[in-house]
Amino acid sequence: MYDFARSLLMAGLFGFIALCVLLFFYQRSLLYYHTTERALMSGDFTLQQGDVSLVIRARQTHLDKAVIYFGGNAEDVSISIGEFERTLPSMALYAMHYRGYGGSEGRPTEEGLVADALALYDAIAASHPSIILVGRSLGSGVAIQLANARPVDQLVLITPFDSLLKVAQKQFPFVPVQWLMLDRYESWRYASELNVPTVLVAAEDDEIIPLERAEQLLEAFQPGIATLHVLPGLNHNSYIDLSEFLNQPQDEL
């Protein structure tokens, strides 16, 4: 009986270790859900970032005030920018297909996505005296790091988190993700250093990123910098009208 229990315990231990190994090596496949390639349309362009070519969706680029949008982990920003074109007719619009998404080359990592965001900002900044950053879900972790590194007029974070590590710990409570996770997107570290007017938009019934994560991110900002809007009855993938939360040109208000 003792030998059987010991064998069972050892089998369980080896199974647990095997699970941890699999999660470590395949974690980015679980985090980043690549979208399919789409044809370039009028206004779109490619951005060369080292040996990687990135697809940038762009609309209304002749306008002074610009929005740079960073989408969620499985979001096709081609669809999103079409909606923004309808609701934000007085603003230039840019949305980046992450590495490995929508025809962009390379493999996504936190370091790579943030570097790409910086490159996109630097490529368009001279053409736009006013820039707003918007990040949704995963993109909130990219946008907040860009806002920490470059001057912007406003930061809007939709279904954001204070730390992707915290989100993962909730989803995998029996796995030591704090030892395994590579891309942690610790937004709270950057929030404390920002003095950019920031809007956090959370979904009350978010089943992916609990409301607590947005509340904890709010706590990381200096007083008076950020506000939190909780939208009742919405979940993680619900439609949210971005125009309600942007500082827009006066002729559009």
User: What residue type is 39 in one-letter code?
Assistant: A
Contacts of 13 (CB under 8 A, 6+ apart): none
C-alpha–C-alpha distance, residues 103 and 37, integer Å: 4
How far from chain centre, in Å, is Cα 146? 11
Say what the pLDDT of residue 8 is.
Answer: 52
Contacts of 5 (CB under 8 A, 6+ apart): none
Say what the pLDDT of residue 169 is.
Answer: 80
Say what the pLDDT of residue 251 is.
Answer: 45
Helix (H) or strand (E) holding 226: strand 226-231
Token pair 């736009």: residue? 128
| Percentage of residues in the chain having pLDDT higher than 70 | 85
CB 109 within 8 A of CB 98: no
Coil vs helix vs strand at 239: coil
CB 53 within 8 A of CB 105: yes
C-alpha–C-alpha distance, residues 196 and 203, integer Å: 22
A 10 A CB-CB count for 17 gives: 10
User: What residue type is 222 in one-letter code?
Assistant: Q
Contacts of 82 (CB under 8 A, 6+ apart): none
Say what the pLDDT of residue 24 is.
Answer: 58
CATH numbers and ranges of domains, the chain: 32-248 (3.40.50.1820)
Beta strands in 25-129 (DSSP E): 45-49, 52-59, 65-70, 92-96
Say what the pLDDT of residue 32 is.
Answer: 86
pLDDT tens sequence across 96-153: 999 999 999 999 999 999 999 999 999 999 999 999 999 999 999 999 999 999 999 9
- Listed as ranges, residues in the chain with pLDDT below 70 are 1-27, 175-176, 179-180, 248-253
Helices within 76-210 (DSSP H only): 77-87, 110-124, 138-149, 164-171, 177-180, 187-191
Coil vs helix vs strand at 228: strand
Say what the pLDDT of residue 232 is.
Answer: 95
Of 242, 252, 250, nearest in space to 67 by CA: 242
C-alpha–C-alpha distance, residues 181 and 210, integer Å: 19
